[in-house]
Structure 1
Amino acid sequence: MTIFSKARVCRLDLWINPVFDELISDKSQLTLQVLSRNADDSATANALAEAHAYHVSAAKDELPKRWFVNAQLIQACPNLLCVSAGGAGYDTVDVQACTEAGIAVVNQAGANANSVAEHTFALLLAVVKRIVESDNKLHHETGFSREDLMGDEIFGGTIGLIGLGAIGTCTARISKGFGLEVLAYDPLLSEDQIRSRGAEPVTLETLLQRSDYVSLHCPLLTQTRHMMGVDQFAMMKPGSIFLSTARGGIHDEAALYSALKAGHLRGAGLDVWEEEPPRRDAPLLSLSNVVASYHTAGVSHGGRRNVARSSANQISLMLNGERPPHLLNPEVWERFLARRQSIFGDVE
């Protein structure tokens, strides 16, 4: 199937790898508009009202709420056929509201999986080897010994992965290379599927009790918000390490601070925060055994390029009437095709 008339693709003027614009612009049946992110810009609202596809940032704290894909925006965009979230996450998109309106939604699952998995281990090693503490002391202090900065080795330890999607699977593979036993909890996968992805299936309680390192790799949903709280941190092994490159809000930051401050946990490596960036006076940032980054795990040159390419390709597929690989609401597909037909019509 081909598009009868030009389809309008819109994105805001937030940074994106240039390959997105190149791939969209290379399609003769697509036209790209780059719009102001200014929440008060009527030109952006007018352009979105005519758009057929909207590529939206997945970063909830970078995107003005007016441009979130919610029921209000959808109502103002009668021609909108599809939405592409610019990452594995889709916090800025109300998928249910899109489904009700016949709008297909895709994310870019797996596009930056290697980058995020690598970052997970960067955080783990930085905490275990006390690299940031050593760097700070060398820059600002004297009169300390190497033994004052003694870290540990991870070989022979156990890592527990909460969530075993594309990123969790990459993390499992890397874990094996470091000589770690890999446990995983993922209620969406069967035990055989978990084993095929390189981990031993266990309950969440068992994972917390047995793991030296607990790493989050699940999406932020109603059922996962604060799934790591006071009880879960208390269940973790004394001296273990908590890691998250998933989403802020899955772990309770106050509960994690208490577990670290009390000495129950040895440290934490955190890439994600309930408020991003976290405030300078955030309690967790006051702890020397917390290594922090600014939701940059997937923000590598390679990761961003892969996400941009995936987004452009999936938008092109959908507007051409072809099912994309990362459709978040598959139940909408037949209605999407009917709406697409009514807007464009098809020619062979």
Structure 2
Amino acid sequence: MKPKVVVTRKLPTEIYDQLSKRCQVYMWEEEEKPIPRSELEAQIKDAAALFCMITETVDAELLDQAQNLKVIANMAVGYNNIDISTCEARGIRVTNTPGVLTDTTADLAFALLMATARRIPEGMDTIRRDEWNNWSPFFLTGQDISHATLGIIGMGRIGSALAKRAKGFEMEVVYNNRSRNYEAERISGAVFASFDELLEKSDYVCLLTPYTKETHHLIGKDELQKMKKTAILINVSRGGTVDEEALYAALKSNDIYAAGLDVFEGEPIASTHPLLTLSNVVATPHIGSASVNTRMEMARMTARHILQVLNGEDPDHLVV
């Protein structure tokens, strides 16, 4: 009998076919809506593999329902939605999809930086509201990007790719990481800095760190007060790395200039979210890796990881 795979979101036929040659596949038939928890609990009881998204909370309670589970393949780089310690204790392998989304996410980070600095969404809204009535010397003036200082918190694959993009704009790049990234320093000229030094010096602070207990609210009231009043915060990591109440207060009182945000503490957010009431916030709905090619390759990689584990092989990208 073929091993059962539970896929928690409707995916293209190519991915279904990739899995169905080796497995019995249960695929949730909605693309935009996540699988209900009760349905996931019911389906995972006899599953050998779980193909999941960051929207699924794979905790000990869910794992208690899964007596035959061998692998959890997360279609994401981050895996804070999965109880890793419980999986490790039970011998359940966990995989993720690093590398494939590096350039796409770095592109989005730099797009947010530019859109926020040059106030592009505000400009569009001005035209749509018929408020562009004349030209004036300081109409919708923003911040320069070329020759500015970019501070990157988390110099992994995406941070390194962002530093390369900054080099094209002749930006000075400083970074903070758990350890020095000598390769990034060599390629982009990035300079290692202490966390406080980065906050104080940077015109743009970009968060690219994983979300962990240590990075929860990494940017809060104290950190925001250390930043320049003309500084812009960009977050394309996880929403929980920023204290949103503190960020709202800092933006409202002009303690920092603006923020470009792709992620939020609770997702999806409503249109009434306090940060969306501010004109100096540019927000996108967690689309860092959202190009057609990248998402397809992430799905292929996730399916491949499942097949590798079920075939007794080591998966390409193993968390535990």
User: TM-score under structure 1 normalisation?
Assistant: 0.84
Q: Deviations over 1:229-261 (max 9, x none)?
A: 011111112201000011111001111111112
1:23 equivalent among 18, 21, 24: 18
Shift of 1:193: 4.9
Specify the alignment match of 2:207 in structure 1.
216
**Residue 19 of structure 2: SS of its match in structure 1?**
helix
Alpha-carbon distance in structure 1 between the residues aligned to 2:85 and 2:166 = 36
Give a deviation string over 1:75-107, Cα, whole Å, max 9, x none.
221110010111112232111111111101011
Distance in 2 of aligned mates of 1:117 and 1:94:
27
Matching of residues 142-161 of structure 1 within 5 Å: 142-145=132-135, 147-161=138-152
Matching residue of 2:288: 297
Range that drifts further, 122-131 or 271-280: 271-280
**Equivalent position of 2:89 in the other structure:** 100
Q: Which amino acid aligns with 1:56?
A: C
User: Aligned pair 1:32/2:21, yes or no?
Assistant: no
Q: Which of 185, 200, 203 is the equivalent residue of 1:195?
A: 185
What is residue 55 of structure 1 aligned with on the other side? 51
Shift of residue 123 of structure 1?
0.8
After superposition, the Cα gap between the structure-2 partners of 1:197 and 1:23, relative to the gap in structure 1 and judged at 3 Å, is farther
Match of 1:346 in 2: none
Among residues 303, 308, 330, which one is paired with 2:299 in the alignment?
Answer: 308
Number of paired residues? 312
**Mapping of 1:131-280 within 5 angstroms?**
131-140=120-129, 141-145=131-135, 147-187=138-178, 189-196=179-186, 198=188, 199-280=190-271
Q: For structure 2, which runs of at least 5 residues remain unmatched after alignment? A: 30-34
Whole-angstrom CA distance in 1 between matches of 2:187 and 2:195:
17
Distance 1:17 1:248, change over 3 A: farther
Write the letter of the residue equivalent to 2:44. Answer: L
Structure 2 counterpart of 1:219, one-letter code: P
SS of the equivalent of 2:37 reads coil
Distance 1:249 1:161 in 2: 17
Whole-Å separation in 1 of the counterparts to 2:192 and 2:234: 19
> Bigger relative contact order, structure 1 or 2, given CA contacts below 8 A and separation 6+?
1
SS at match of 1:275: coil
> CA distance change for structure 1 residues 19 and 163 in 2, over 3 Å: closer, same or farther?
farther
CA distances 1:28-69 after superposition (whole Å, capped 9, x unpaired): 43332214623344xx5443111111011112xxx4xxxx32
Query: 1:183: how far off?
Result: 1.3
1:11 matched to 2:40? The reply is no
- Structure 2 CA distance for partners of 1:19 and 1:207, relative to 1, 3 Å: farther
Partner residue in 2 for 1:341: none
Q: 1:73 to 1:307 in 2, by over 3 A?
A: same
Deviation of residue 115 (structure 1)? Answer: 1.5
Where do 5+ consecutive residues of structure 1 fail to align? 330-348
TM-score (structure 2 length as normaliser): 0.91
Q: Give the % identical residues.
A: 33
Q: Which residue of 1 aligns with 2:104?
A: 115
Q: Distance in 1 between matches of 2:248 and 2:115?
A: 18
